[in-house]
Every structure is written in C-alpha cells, then in structure tokens.
Amino acid sequence: MITVPNLLTLLRLCSVPFLITALIYRRVGVAIAIFLFASVTDVLDGYIARRYHQGSYLGTLLDPLADKVLLDGAFITMALMGYSPPWLAVTVVSRDLLLVGGVVLAAIFFGGVVDVKPTILGKATTFSQVMTVFATLLIHGINLSADHLLGALEIATFLVTLASGLDYIYRGIKALSEEF
C-alpha cells in the first residue's frame, strides 16, 4: 500500500532528473524551485508519517535513498557546472557510497536487513548539505558575490560530512565486532 509520505518521497525522487536538467541548462531559477519543492516534500513526508502514523518499511528505505540521490545529484552537477568545488562533491558522494556499501556488507554479515538509525551528526550533515545546495543555487541565481560566505559554508559542510561518515564507519565496525 502506498502511503502519502511514500508518495511524497517518490515525488522527490522523480524531481531529481528535472533538477539536474535545469542545472545543465543553467536555469538556476528553475533549479531553485525544484530544489525547494523537493525539500518541502522531505519535511512533509516525515511530518505526515509521524503525525498520522503512516511510517512504513518502504518509507524507511525510500526516504534516505531519495535524500542521497537528490543531494548527490545536485553536488555532482553543481561541481560539473562550476558552481561548487569538485572536492565537496567527491566528499558528499564518497560518504554516501561508504554508507550504502557498509549497510550492504553488514546485511551480508548479519544475514538480513540492517536497521540503520540516523544520528544527530547524520541529520546535521543532511541539513548542512541542503543549506549548501540552496545557498549555492541562490548565489548563482541572483549573481551575488558571496564567495567568502559560500566558501565557509562549503568547508563547514565538508567537515560535518566527513565527521558523520567517520562516525557511521565507527558505529558499523563496532556493531560488527560485537556480533562476531
């Protein structure tokens, strides 16, 4: 059964190709609108799932997947278009690949589904990445000269992304060592 939160998550996932296309064609205003739409669906799906008890196993899989596809797609495309530094895109995508790979390996070792709980640091990373994408799009959309502000935000996002990646790796290794 498809729930409203799952439908919103699917809409967010489906918005990614439109966001990437808007960025490629340098339609930054359109990209901002799409990114805002995707961000609102992210907030709404979580709120509705909690408020109306519509959480589901499918939602626990789709929601983080949609977040990763949206943010990774945005960072990769922004780097390719020269809007943000490639090292930031590499950091964001590498962290996500390590997390997904870790979950797959843990599932193999544990012989089933691994329940990964988001941490405060993980949530801070998502927030920082969303703010960085939005600020990057906004600054490029209105041709604002705010390199120092954007640079500081990129460094903060890099640091929190790195810290949460290391934290998840530590937690994964600890869980595996407790199991074996």
CA distance 159 to 59: 28
CA distance 30 to 48: 27
For range 165-175, the mean pLDDT:
87
Summary mean pLDDT of the chain? 92
CA distance 51 to 64: 19
What confidence tens digit (pLDDT) does each residue in 73-101 have?
999 999 999 999 999 999 999 999 999 88
Q: Is the pLDDT of residue 174 over 90?
A: no
Q: Supply the pLDDT for residue 134.
A: 97
pTM of the model: 0.93
What confidence tens digit (pLDDT) does each residue in 6-56 have?
999 999 999 999 999 999 999 999 999 999 999 999 999 999 999 999 998
CA distance 39 to 130: 8
What's the topology of domain 4-179? Four Helix Bundle (Hemerythrin (Met), subunit A) (1.20.120)
**167 burial via Cβ count (<10 Å: 0-12, 13-18, 19+):** middle
Q: Supply the pLDDT for residue 91.
A: 98
Q: Where are the domains of the chain?
A: 4-179
What confidence tens digit (pLDDT) does each residue in 119-147 have?
999 999 999 999 999 999 999 998 888 88
Q: Supply the pLDDT for residue 114.
A: 67
Q: Is the pLDDT of residue 180 over 70?
A: no
* Band of residue 178 on the pLDDT scale cut at 50, 70, 90: confident
CA distance 143 to 51: 40
